Amino acid sequence: MTDLVIRPLVAGEENLFDSMPDPLPQLRQVGYADGVAGGGYRPETTWVALRDGRVVGRAAWLLPPGAVGAPWLDRFDLDAEPEVGAELLHAAHQALGGPGLYYAALPAHWRRRPEVRAVVEAPMAAARLAGLVERGERLRCSWAGTPLPASSRRYDFRSPVDATEVNALVARIDEPDVLTGVEIARVVSGVDLATDPLGWLGDGVQGWRVALDAGEPVGLVGTAGDACYPLLVYLGLLDEAARPELLVEAVRLLAAGGAREVIADVDARRVAVLAELERTGFRQLRTRVVFAPADQQE
Protein backbone atom coordinates (compact mmCIF):
# COMPACT_ATOMS: atom_id res chain seq x y z
CA MET A 1 0.00 0.00 0.00
CA THR A 2 1.22 3.50 -0.79
CA ASP A 3 2.44 5.31 2.30
CA LEU A 4 -0.25 7.37 3.96
CA VAL A 5 0.49 10.83 5.36
CA ILE A 6 -1.84 12.19 8.03
CA ARG A 7 -1.30 15.68 9.34
CA PRO A 8 -2.97 19.00 10.16
CA LEU A 9 -2.98 21.82 7.66
CA VAL A 10 -0.71 24.81 7.99
CA ALA A 11 -1.70 28.40 7.31
CA GLY A 12 -2.19 29.06 3.62
CA GLU A 13 -3.16 25.50 2.70
CA GLU A 14 -6.87 26.16 2.25
CA ASN A 15 -6.55 25.07 -1.38
CA LEU A 16 -5.27 21.67 -0.27
CA PHE A 17 -8.48 21.06 1.65
CA ASP A 18 -10.54 22.17 -1.34
CA SER A 19 -8.50 20.04 -3.77
CA MET A 20 -10.68 17.08 -2.77
CA PRO A 21 -13.88 17.26 -4.83
CA ASP A 22 -16.96 17.93 -2.75
CA PRO A 23 -18.75 14.56 -2.53
CA LEU A 24 -22.11 16.15 -1.65
CA PRO A 25 -22.33 19.40 -3.63
CA GLN A 26 -26.09 19.54 -3.15
CA LEU A 27 -25.68 20.38 0.55
CA ARG A 28 -26.00 24.03 1.56
CA GLN A 29 -22.95 24.67 3.73
CA VAL A 30 -20.24 27.25 4.30
CA GLY A 31 -17.19 26.80 2.08
CA TYR A 32 -13.93 25.95 3.82
CA ALA A 33 -12.11 29.13 2.77
CA ASP A 34 -15.06 31.24 3.92
CA GLY A 35 -15.04 29.39 7.24
CA VAL A 36 -11.35 30.16 7.69
CA ALA A 37 -11.96 33.81 6.86
CA GLY A 38 -14.74 33.92 9.46
CA GLY A 39 -12.57 32.32 12.12
CA GLY A 40 -14.62 29.15 12.64
CA TYR A 41 -12.25 26.82 10.79
CA ARG A 42 -8.55 26.90 11.64
CA PRO A 43 -5.58 25.12 10.03
CA GLU A 44 -4.54 23.51 13.32
CA THR A 45 -7.99 21.94 13.74
CA THR A 46 -8.16 20.74 10.13
CA TRP A 47 -6.57 17.41 9.24
CA VAL A 48 -5.95 15.64 5.96
CA ALA A 49 -4.92 12.16 4.84
CA LEU A 50 -2.76 12.10 1.69
CA ARG A 51 -1.66 9.34 -0.67
CA ASP A 52 0.94 10.34 -3.25
CA GLY A 53 0.14 13.96 -2.45
CA ARG A 54 -3.59 13.53 -3.14
CA VAL A 55 -6.12 14.22 -0.40
CA VAL A 56 -8.12 11.05 0.29
CA GLY A 57 -9.56 12.16 3.60
CA ARG A 58 -10.22 15.50 5.24
CA ALA A 59 -11.68 16.54 8.56
CA ALA A 60 -12.41 20.08 9.78
CA TRP A 61 -13.42 20.93 13.33
CA LEU A 62 -15.49 24.07 13.81
CA LEU A 63 -15.51 26.53 16.71
CA PRO A 64 -17.01 29.99 16.13
CA PRO A 65 -15.00 32.91 17.54
CA GLY A 66 -15.86 33.62 21.16
CA ALA A 67 -17.44 30.21 21.73
CA VAL A 68 -17.28 28.78 25.24
CA GLY A 69 -17.46 25.09 24.23
CA ALA A 70 -15.22 22.62 22.45
CA PRO A 71 -14.89 22.39 18.66
CA TRP A 72 -17.02 19.81 16.88
CA LEU A 73 -16.24 17.79 13.76
CA ASP A 74 -18.17 19.63 11.06
CA ARG A 75 -16.70 18.37 7.77
CA PHE A 76 -15.46 14.82 7.28
CA ASP A 77 -15.04 13.42 3.77
CA LEU A 78 -13.34 10.20 2.76
CA ASP A 79 -12.23 8.78 -0.58
CA ALA A 80 -10.60 5.71 0.93
CA GLU A 81 -11.41 2.74 3.11
CA PRO A 82 -12.95 3.41 6.55
CA GLU A 83 -9.74 2.35 8.30
CA VAL A 84 -7.96 5.35 6.75
CA GLY A 85 -10.65 7.66 8.06
CA ALA A 86 -10.44 6.09 11.51
CA GLU A 87 -6.66 6.58 11.51
CA LEU A 88 -7.16 10.22 10.55
CA LEU A 89 -9.65 10.75 13.37
CA HIS A 90 -7.49 8.96 15.95
CA ALA A 91 -4.51 11.15 15.09
CA ALA A 92 -6.56 14.32 15.26
CA HIS A 93 -8.29 13.31 18.50
CA GLN A 94 -4.92 12.69 20.12
CA ALA A 95 -3.70 16.14 19.11
CA LEU A 96 -6.95 17.92 19.99
CA GLY A 97 -7.32 16.50 23.49
CA GLY A 98 -9.68 13.64 22.79
CA PRO A 99 -12.76 12.84 20.70
CA GLY A 100 -15.77 15.12 20.67
CA LEU A 101 -19.04 15.55 18.85
CA TYR A 102 -19.38 14.91 15.12
CA TYR A 103 -22.33 16.43 13.28
CA ALA A 104 -22.57 14.58 9.97
CA ALA A 105 -24.50 16.81 7.55
CA LEU A 106 -26.34 14.85 4.87
CA PRO A 107 -28.91 15.57 2.15
CA ALA A 108 -32.56 15.12 3.03
CA HIS A 109 -33.97 11.59 2.79
CA TRP A 110 -30.43 10.22 2.54
CA ARG A 111 -31.37 6.69 3.56
CA ARG A 112 -33.60 6.41 0.49
CA ARG A 113 -30.90 7.65 -1.90
CA PRO A 114 -28.34 4.99 -2.87
CA GLU A 115 -26.00 7.53 -4.48
CA VAL A 116 -25.79 9.44 -1.19
CA ARG A 117 -25.38 6.33 0.94
CA ALA A 118 -22.46 5.28 -1.26
CA VAL A 119 -20.72 8.54 -0.31
CA VAL A 120 -21.49 8.66 3.41
CA GLU A 121 -21.13 5.05 4.49
CA ALA A 122 -17.31 5.16 4.59
CA PRO A 123 -16.93 8.26 6.81
CA MET A 124 -19.72 7.09 9.11
CA ALA A 125 -18.05 3.67 9.42
CA ALA A 126 -14.75 5.44 10.12
CA ALA A 127 -16.36 7.47 12.89
CA ARG A 128 -17.59 4.27 14.52
CA LEU A 129 -14.15 2.68 14.22
CA ALA A 130 -12.73 5.77 15.93
CA GLY A 131 -15.00 5.20 18.94
CA LEU A 132 -17.91 7.50 18.12
CA VAL A 133 -21.48 6.34 18.65
CA GLU A 134 -24.59 7.51 16.80
CA ARG A 135 -26.81 9.49 19.18
CA GLY A 136 -29.65 10.74 17.02
CA GLU A 137 -30.66 12.65 13.93
CA ARG A 138 -32.02 16.17 13.45
CA LEU A 139 -33.79 17.38 10.34
CA ARG A 140 -33.56 20.93 8.98
CA CYS A 141 -36.71 22.07 7.21
CA SER A 142 -37.54 25.16 5.20
CA TRP A 143 -40.74 27.05 4.43
CA ALA A 144 -40.32 29.14 1.28
CA GLY A 145 -43.59 30.90 0.58
CA THR A 146 -46.05 28.02 0.31
CA PRO A 147 -49.63 29.19 1.11
CA LEU A 148 -50.40 28.59 4.75
CA PRO A 149 -53.35 26.50 5.99
CA ALA A 150 -56.44 28.41 7.04
CA SER A 151 -57.03 29.04 10.74
CA SER A 152 -59.84 27.35 12.65
CA ARG A 153 -59.98 30.46 14.87
CA ARG A 154 -60.05 28.21 17.92
CA TYR A 155 -56.96 29.87 19.40
CA ASP A 156 -55.97 33.41 20.17
CA PHE A 157 -52.39 34.63 20.01
CA ARG A 158 -50.63 37.42 21.84
CA SER A 159 -47.14 38.56 22.72
CA PRO A 160 -45.87 37.42 26.14
CA VAL A 161 -46.15 40.00 28.87
CA ASP A 162 -42.42 39.84 29.53
CA ALA A 163 -39.43 37.48 29.80
CA THR A 164 -40.74 36.16 33.10
CA GLU A 165 -43.85 34.80 31.40
CA VAL A 166 -41.76 33.15 28.67
CA ASN A 167 -39.53 31.48 31.25
CA ALA A 168 -42.53 30.31 33.30
CA LEU A 169 -44.14 28.69 30.24
CA VAL A 170 -40.85 27.12 29.11
CA ALA A 171 -40.52 25.55 32.57
CA ARG A 172 -43.88 23.80 32.08
CA ILE A 173 -42.96 22.28 28.69
CA ASP A 174 -41.17 18.92 29.02
CA GLU A 175 -39.94 18.53 25.44
CA PRO A 176 -40.20 21.33 22.86
CA ASP A 177 -41.36 20.36 19.37
CA VAL A 178 -38.87 22.56 17.52
CA LEU A 179 -35.41 23.72 18.58
CA THR A 180 -33.45 25.41 15.82
CA GLY A 181 -29.76 26.05 16.41
CA VAL A 182 -29.58 24.01 19.61
CA GLU A 183 -26.02 22.86 18.83
CA ILE A 184 -24.74 26.39 18.18
CA ALA A 185 -26.43 27.77 21.30
CA ARG A 186 -24.80 25.10 23.46
CA VAL A 187 -21.28 25.45 22.06
CA VAL A 188 -21.15 29.20 21.55
CA SER A 189 -22.86 30.34 24.76
CA GLY A 190 -23.30 27.25 26.90
CA VAL A 191 -27.09 27.66 26.67
CA ASP A 192 -29.60 24.79 26.65
CA LEU A 193 -32.14 26.05 24.15
CA ALA A 194 -34.79 23.65 25.49
CA THR A 195 -34.75 25.13 29.01
CA ASP A 196 -33.38 28.66 28.50
CA PRO A 197 -34.21 29.97 25.03
CA LEU A 198 -33.99 33.58 26.18
CA GLY A 199 -30.41 32.90 27.23
CA TRP A 200 -29.71 32.61 23.50
CA LEU A 201 -32.28 34.97 21.98
CA GLY A 202 -32.15 37.72 24.59
CA ASP A 203 -34.92 39.06 26.84
CA GLY A 204 -36.94 40.81 24.13
CA VAL A 205 -40.34 39.19 23.56
CA GLN A 206 -41.36 40.82 20.26
CA GLY A 207 -40.53 37.61 18.35
CA TRP A 208 -42.62 35.42 20.66
CA ARG A 209 -46.27 34.40 20.63
CA VAL A 210 -48.40 32.65 23.25
CA ALA A 211 -51.28 30.48 22.04
CA LEU A 212 -54.44 30.78 24.16
CA ASP A 213 -57.48 28.52 24.40
CA ALA A 214 -60.32 30.24 26.27
CA GLY A 215 -57.72 32.56 27.79
CA GLU A 216 -55.40 29.79 29.01
CA PRO A 217 -51.88 29.37 27.55
CA VAL A 218 -51.55 26.15 25.54
CA GLY A 219 -48.34 26.80 23.60
CA LEU A 220 -45.40 29.10 23.02
CA VAL A 221 -43.29 29.92 19.98
CA GLY A 222 -40.14 32.01 19.63
CA THR A 223 -38.74 33.30 16.34
CA ALA A 224 -35.66 35.18 15.18
CA GLY A 225 -35.90 37.24 12.02
CA ASP A 226 -32.41 38.71 12.04
CA ALA A 227 -30.24 35.59 12.36
CA CYS A 228 -28.43 33.93 9.43
CA TYR A 229 -31.90 32.95 8.20
CA PRO A 230 -35.33 33.74 9.66
CA LEU A 231 -35.69 30.99 12.26
CA LEU A 232 -38.45 29.24 14.11
CA VAL A 233 -36.19 28.85 17.14
CA TYR A 234 -38.47 27.40 19.80
CA LEU A 235 -41.91 25.81 19.74
CA GLY A 236 -43.37 24.10 22.78
CA LEU A 237 -46.84 22.92 23.65
CA LEU A 238 -49.02 22.39 26.69
CA ASP A 239 -51.77 21.03 24.40
CA GLU A 240 -50.70 19.18 21.25
CA ALA A 241 -53.91 20.20 19.48
CA ALA A 242 -52.50 23.72 19.21
CA ARG A 243 -49.48 22.61 17.14
CA PRO A 244 -50.88 23.28 13.63
CA GLU A 245 -52.06 26.82 14.29
CA LEU A 246 -49.10 27.82 16.44
CA LEU A 247 -46.79 26.80 13.59
CA VAL A 248 -48.81 28.87 11.14
CA GLU A 249 -48.78 31.84 13.51
CA ALA A 250 -44.98 31.65 13.79
CA VAL A 251 -44.53 31.63 10.01
CA ARG A 252 -47.01 34.49 9.60
CA LEU A 253 -45.07 36.52 12.15
CA LEU A 254 -41.80 36.08 10.28
CA ALA A 255 -43.37 36.57 6.86
CA ALA A 256 -44.94 39.83 8.06
CA GLY A 257 -41.40 40.96 8.86
CA GLY A 258 -40.28 40.26 5.31
CA ALA A 259 -39.08 36.65 5.56
CA ARG A 260 -39.21 34.69 2.32
CA GLU A 261 -37.80 31.57 3.95
CA VAL A 262 -38.17 30.16 7.46
CA ILE A 263 -35.88 27.49 8.89
CA ALA A 264 -36.89 24.95 11.56
CA ASP A 265 -35.02 22.00 13.08
CA VAL A 266 -36.75 18.92 14.51
CA ASP A 267 -35.57 15.58 15.87
CA ALA A 268 -36.17 12.85 13.28
CA ARG A 269 -37.93 10.70 15.88
CA ARG A 270 -40.64 13.38 16.31
CA VAL A 271 -42.75 12.00 13.48
CA ALA A 272 -45.94 13.89 14.35
CA VAL A 273 -44.08 17.20 14.55
CA LEU A 274 -42.38 16.61 11.20
CA ALA A 275 -45.72 15.71 9.60
CA GLU A 276 -47.25 18.97 10.86
CA LEU A 277 -44.30 20.98 9.58
CA GLU A 278 -44.82 19.42 6.16
CA ARG A 279 -48.55 20.17 6.25
CA THR A 280 -47.64 23.77 7.00
CA GLY A 281 -45.50 23.87 3.85
CA PHE A 282 -42.04 23.04 5.21
CA ARG A 283 -39.77 20.76 3.18
CA GLN A 284 -36.69 18.92 4.37
CA LEU A 285 -33.41 20.59 3.39
CA ARG A 286 -30.89 18.32 5.07
CA THR A 287 -30.32 16.09 8.04
CA ARG A 288 -27.62 16.02 10.68
CA VAL A 289 -26.64 12.70 12.25
CA VAL A 290 -25.06 13.19 15.67
CA PHE A 291 -22.11 11.08 16.78
CA ALA A 292 -20.52 11.33 20.22
CA PRO A 293 -17.87 9.49 22.24
CA ALA A 294 -19.34 6.43 23.92
CA ASP A 295 -19.12 8.04 27.37
CA GLN A 296 -20.68 11.37 26.31
CA GLN A 297 -24.22 12.39 25.49
CA GLU A 298 -25.00 14.84 22.69
Amino acid letter at 256? A
In terms of domains, do 260 and 179 share one? yes
Q: Kindly report the pTM of this predicted structure.
A: 0.91
In terms of domains, do 122 and 19 share one? yes
Q: In total, how many domains does the chain have?
A: 2
C-alpha distances in Å from residue 199, one per residue of 68, 86, 101, 193, 240 = 14, 37, 22, 8, 25
Whether 151 is in a domain gets the answer yes
In terms of domains, do 121 and 148 share one? no
* CATH number where 109 lies: 3.40.630
- Of 97, 130, 163, which residue constitutes the final position of a domain? 130
In terms of domains, do 37 and 158 share one? no
Whether 35 is in a domain gets the answer yes
Task: Count CB neighbours of 12 within 10 A.
Answer: 9
* CATH number where 264 lies: 3.40.630.30
Whether 262 is in a domain gets the answer yes
pLDDT 10s digit of each residue in the chain, 298 long?
468 999 999 998 999 999 999 999 888 888 898 899 999 999 999 999 999 999 999 999 999 998 988 999 999 999 999 999 999 999 999 999 999 999 999 999 999 999 999 999 999 999 999 999 999 999 999 999 999 999 889 999 999 999 999 999 999 999 999 999 998 899 889 999 999 999 999 999 999 999 999 999 999 999 998 767 899 999 999 999 999 999 999 999 999 999 999 999 999 999 999 999 999 999 999 999 999 998 876 6
Q: Which residues pair with 232 in a beta bridge?
A: 223
In terms of domains, do 166 and 191 share one? yes
In terms of domains, do 152 and 193 share one? yes
Domain of residue 249 covers: 143-286
- Of 130, 158, 189, which residue constitutes the final position of a domain? 130
Whether 69 is in a domain gets the answer yes
Whether 32 is in a domain gets the answer yes
Task: Count CB neighbours of 66 within 10 A.
Answer: 8
In terms of domains, do 125 and 156 share one? no
Whether 223 is in a domain gets the answer yes
Whether 136 is in a domain gets the answer no
In terms of domains, do 174 and 206 share one? yes
